[in-house]
Amino acid sequence: MRVKICGITQPQQSIAIASLGATALGFICVPTSPRYVTIEQIQAAIAKIPDKIDRIGVFANSNISEITQIVIASNLTGVQLHGDESPEFCHKLRQSLPHIEIIKALRVRNLEHLQTTANYIEYIDTLLLDAYHPQQLGGTGQTLDWQVLQEFSPIRPWFLAGGLTPDNILTAVNQIHPSGIDLSSGVELSPGDKDLDKVGLLFERLNSVFV
Protein backbone atom coordinates (compact mmCIF):
# COMPACT_ATOMS: atom_id res chain seq x y z
CA MET A 1 0.00 0.00 0.00
CA ARG A 2 1.26 3.46 -0.87
CA VAL A 3 1.73 5.89 2.00
CA LYS A 4 2.00 9.57 1.12
CA ILE A 5 2.93 12.18 3.70
CA CYS A 6 1.88 15.55 2.35
CA GLY A 7 2.74 19.13 3.18
CA ILE A 8 6.47 18.58 3.62
CA THR A 9 8.37 21.84 4.12
CA GLN A 10 11.67 20.90 5.82
CA PRO A 11 14.51 18.92 4.18
CA GLN A 12 15.53 17.10 7.34
CA GLN A 13 11.95 15.96 7.87
CA SER A 14 11.64 14.68 4.30
CA ILE A 15 14.69 12.46 4.85
CA ALA A 16 13.37 11.17 8.17
CA ILE A 17 9.88 10.50 6.82
CA ALA A 18 11.26 8.63 3.82
CA SER A 19 13.44 6.51 6.10
CA LEU A 20 10.44 5.66 8.30
CA GLY A 21 8.62 4.11 5.36
CA ALA A 22 6.78 6.71 3.27
CA THR A 23 6.48 5.74 -0.39
CA ALA A 24 5.58 9.30 -1.48
CA LEU A 25 6.19 12.84 -0.26
CA GLY A 26 3.81 15.67 -1.12
CA PHE A 27 4.82 19.30 -1.64
CA ILE A 28 2.21 22.06 -1.68
CA CYS A 29 2.62 24.37 -4.67
CA VAL A 30 -0.38 26.55 -3.77
CA PRO A 31 0.84 30.01 -2.63
CA THR A 32 -2.13 30.61 -0.33
CA SER A 33 -1.47 27.44 1.67
CA PRO A 34 0.34 27.60 5.04
CA ARG A 35 2.33 24.59 3.77
CA TYR A 36 3.41 26.28 0.52
CA VAL A 37 6.96 25.60 -0.67
CA THR A 38 9.00 27.14 -3.49
CA ILE A 39 10.90 25.28 -6.18
CA GLU A 40 14.11 25.84 -4.21
CA GLN A 41 12.56 24.37 -1.07
CA ILE A 42 11.36 21.31 -2.96
CA GLN A 43 14.80 20.82 -4.48
CA ALA A 44 16.37 20.97 -1.02
CA ALA A 45 13.80 18.57 0.43
CA ILE A 46 14.28 15.88 -2.21
CA ALA A 47 18.04 16.20 -2.70
CA LYS A 48 18.88 13.36 -0.33
CA ILE A 49 15.88 11.05 -0.56
CA PRO A 50 16.01 7.76 -2.52
CA ASP A 51 14.86 7.81 -6.14
CA LYS A 52 12.23 5.17 -5.34
CA ILE A 53 10.28 7.71 -3.25
CA ASP A 54 7.56 9.42 -5.30
CA ARG A 55 7.73 13.22 -5.25
CA ILE A 56 4.29 14.75 -5.74
CA GLY A 57 3.55 18.42 -6.33
CA VAL A 58 0.10 19.55 -5.18
CA PHE A 59 -1.57 22.23 -7.31
CA ALA A 60 -4.98 23.91 -7.27
CA ASN A 61 -6.35 25.72 -10.32
CA SER A 62 -2.90 26.47 -11.71
CA ASN A 63 -2.32 26.72 -15.46
CA ILE A 64 -0.57 23.99 -17.39
CA SER A 65 2.55 26.01 -18.21
CA GLU A 66 3.09 26.85 -14.53
CA ILE A 67 2.63 23.23 -13.45
CA THR A 68 4.97 22.00 -16.17
CA GLN A 69 7.66 24.51 -15.22
CA ILE A 70 7.55 23.56 -11.54
CA VAL A 71 7.49 19.82 -12.23
CA ILE A 72 10.55 20.00 -14.47
CA ALA A 73 12.51 22.41 -12.26
CA SER A 74 11.73 20.47 -9.09
CA ASN A 75 12.23 17.00 -10.57
CA LEU A 76 8.80 15.87 -9.43
CA THR A 77 7.45 12.45 -10.38
CA GLY A 78 3.77 13.32 -10.02
CA VAL A 79 1.17 16.07 -10.00
CA GLN A 80 -1.83 16.16 -7.66
CA LEU A 81 -4.65 18.40 -8.84
CA HIS A 82 -6.58 19.57 -5.81
CA GLY A 83 -8.74 22.32 -7.31
CA ASP A 84 -11.62 22.47 -9.77
CA GLU A 85 -9.69 21.01 -12.71
CA SER A 86 -11.88 19.43 -15.38
CA PRO A 87 -11.31 16.09 -17.14
CA GLU A 88 -10.33 18.11 -20.21
CA PHE A 89 -7.66 19.93 -18.19
CA CYS A 90 -6.28 16.58 -17.02
CA HIS A 91 -6.14 15.43 -20.63
CA LYS A 92 -4.18 18.52 -21.70
CA LEU A 93 -1.82 18.16 -18.74
CA ARG A 94 -1.16 14.57 -19.74
CA GLN A 95 -0.12 15.79 -23.19
CA SER A 96 2.27 18.31 -21.62
CA LEU A 97 3.69 15.84 -19.06
CA PRO A 98 3.31 12.38 -20.62
CA HIS A 99 5.56 10.55 -18.17
CA ILE A 100 4.35 12.13 -14.93
CA GLU A 101 1.76 10.52 -12.62
CA ILE A 102 -1.44 12.56 -12.57
CA ILE A 103 -3.49 12.34 -9.39
CA LYS A 104 -6.91 14.00 -9.31
CA ALA A 105 -8.13 14.88 -5.85
CA LEU A 106 -11.84 15.21 -5.19
CA ARG A 107 -13.28 16.67 -2.02
CA VAL A 108 -16.25 14.37 -1.60
CA ARG A 109 -19.51 15.88 -0.41
CA ASN A 110 -21.84 12.90 -0.91
CA LEU A 111 -22.41 9.71 -2.91
CA GLU A 112 -23.61 11.64 -5.96
CA HIS A 113 -20.44 13.73 -5.96
CA LEU A 114 -18.35 10.55 -5.59
CA GLN A 115 -19.78 9.27 -8.86
CA THR A 116 -18.15 12.14 -10.77
CA THR A 117 -14.83 10.31 -10.38
CA ALA A 118 -15.86 8.28 -13.43
CA ASN A 119 -15.45 11.39 -15.60
CA TYR A 120 -11.72 11.52 -14.84
CA ILE A 121 -10.70 7.87 -15.09
CA GLU A 122 -9.64 8.03 -18.73
CA TYR A 123 -7.27 10.97 -18.19
CA ILE A 124 -5.51 10.26 -14.89
CA ASP A 125 -3.40 7.61 -13.19
CA THR A 126 -4.67 7.85 -9.64
CA LEU A 127 -7.59 9.29 -7.65
CA LEU A 128 -7.45 10.89 -4.21
CA LEU A 129 -10.54 11.33 -2.08
CA ASP A 130 -10.47 14.04 0.57
CA ALA A 131 -13.01 15.53 2.93
CA TYR A 132 -14.98 18.51 1.64
CA HIS A 133 -14.45 21.86 3.33
CA PRO A 134 -16.03 25.05 1.93
CA GLN A 135 -12.97 27.25 2.58
CA GLN A 136 -9.96 24.92 2.58
CA LEU A 137 -8.63 22.67 -0.18
CA GLY A 138 -7.03 20.14 2.15
CA GLY A 139 -5.18 19.55 5.40
CA THR A 140 -8.34 20.29 7.36
CA GLY A 141 -8.19 17.32 9.71
CA GLN A 142 -11.77 16.42 8.77
CA THR A 143 -12.65 12.84 7.80
CA LEU A 144 -14.88 11.75 4.97
CA ASP A 145 -18.04 9.77 5.57
CA TRP A 146 -16.36 6.37 5.26
CA GLN A 147 -19.74 4.69 4.82
CA VAL A 148 -20.03 6.39 1.43
CA LEU A 149 -16.81 4.68 0.37
CA GLN A 150 -17.74 1.14 1.40
CA GLU A 151 -18.57 0.04 -2.15
CA PHE A 152 -16.12 2.36 -3.93
CA SER A 153 -14.03 0.28 -6.33
CA PRO A 154 -12.70 2.34 -9.26
CA ILE A 155 -10.57 0.89 -12.04
CA ARG A 156 -7.76 3.26 -11.08
CA PRO A 157 -5.78 3.07 -7.81
CA TRP A 158 -6.84 5.61 -5.22
CA PHE A 159 -5.63 7.37 -2.09
CA LEU A 160 -7.80 7.91 0.97
CA ALA A 161 -7.17 11.29 2.62
CA GLY A 162 -8.96 13.51 5.09
CA GLY A 163 -8.50 13.44 8.85
CA LEU A 164 -6.34 10.32 8.96
CA THR A 165 -4.17 9.87 12.06
CA PRO A 166 -2.15 7.07 13.66
CA ASP A 167 -5.17 6.49 15.90
CA ASN A 168 -7.74 5.85 13.17
CA ILE A 169 -5.58 4.54 10.33
CA LEU A 170 -6.13 0.83 10.92
CA THR A 171 -9.89 1.30 11.16
CA ALA A 172 -9.82 3.24 7.90
CA VAL A 173 -7.77 0.80 5.86
CA ASN A 174 -9.56 -2.27 7.19
CA GLN A 175 -12.96 -0.77 6.56
CA ILE A 176 -12.35 0.81 3.15
CA HIS A 177 -9.29 -0.92 1.61
CA PRO A 178 -7.83 1.99 -0.39
CA SER A 179 -4.81 1.58 -2.65
CA GLY A 180 -2.98 4.20 -0.63
CA ILE A 181 -3.33 6.67 2.21
CA ASP A 182 -2.43 10.35 2.39
CA LEU A 183 -1.77 12.16 5.66
CA SER A 184 -0.90 15.77 6.42
CA SER A 185 -2.40 17.48 9.48
CA GLY A 186 -2.82 14.13 11.26
CA VAL A 187 0.97 13.85 11.69
CA GLU A 188 1.80 17.52 12.35
CA LEU A 189 2.80 19.76 15.20
CA SER A 190 1.69 22.77 13.14
CA PRO A 191 1.08 23.33 9.40
CA GLY A 192 4.17 22.12 7.54
CA ASP A 193 6.00 20.99 10.70
CA LYS A 194 5.65 17.22 10.93
CA ASP A 195 5.61 15.33 14.22
CA LEU A 196 8.12 12.56 13.56
CA ASP A 197 6.91 10.64 16.61
CA LYS A 198 3.44 10.50 15.09
CA VAL A 199 4.87 9.50 11.70
CA GLY A 200 6.83 6.72 13.41
CA LEU A 201 3.70 5.55 15.25
CA LEU A 202 1.78 5.55 11.98
CA PHE A 203 4.24 3.16 10.35
CA GLU A 204 4.49 1.05 13.48
CA ARG A 205 0.76 0.45 13.33
CA LEU A 206 0.68 -0.10 9.57
CA ASN A 207 3.59 -2.52 9.75
CA SER A 208 1.79 -4.55 12.43
CA VAL A 209 -0.84 -5.39 9.83
CA PHE A 210 0.82 -5.19 6.42
CA VAL A 211 4.30 -6.61 7.03
**Active-site residue set:** 6, 130
Cβ atoms within 10 Å of 173's Cβ, excluding its own: 19
Distance CA 44, CA 46 (A): 6
Which alpha helices (DSSP H) does the chain contain, by range? 11-20, 39-46, 64-74, 87-96, 111-114, 169-176, 196-210
Distance CA 120, CA 145 (A): 21
Report the length, in residues, of the chain: 211
Q: Cα 52 from chain centroid?
A: 16
φ and ψ at residue 58, rounded to 5 degrees:
-100, 125
